[in-house]
Amino acid sequence: MKLLTTLVSLIILSACTTIHFDNGEPIETLAKTEQWHHNVALDLVEVSDAVNLERRCLNQEWTSVKTELSFLNGLARLAVNWIAPIWYPKTVEISCDFTDKKQPSAQTLKL
């Protein structure tokens, strides 16, 4: 019974979260990139650099930034933090508006 209570508590407390930051109206033709963002020390200290939207969008307009604690992030977090609360990854997805402009290649967006 104690094991079941522990498992249920872990599942409830490890919920995924998503935060959206939108800039203007939603646009269908977007270039999207993803990267992991890393925090340490109980999620209080950022070790990743801040996302540079001008660089990621090649000096074009950004339309949306989504910060998400996905299942994969939670799985990695659980595996590492089993020993001690060390690493807290999140996924950051950036959407850029390249309408009326030449679409960049996938290689260019992996800056």
pLDDT, one tens digit per residue, over 5-42 is 877 766 666 667 788 888 887 777 578 889 999 999 88
Inform me whether the pLDDT recorded for 98 exceeds 90.
no
* pLDDT tens-digit series, residues 50-64: 999 989 888 888 889
Inform me whether the pLDDT recorded for 110 exceeds 70.
no
Average pLDDT over residues 70-77: 86
Q: Which of 89, 92, 73, 104 is nearest to 34 (CA)?
A: 92
State the pTM of this model: 0.71
Cross-strand pairs, 68: 18, 91
Q: Which residues contact 88 (CB under 8 A, 6 or more apart)?
A: 38, 39, 40, 42, 43, 77, 81
Please, what is the average pLDDT of the chain?
Answer: 81
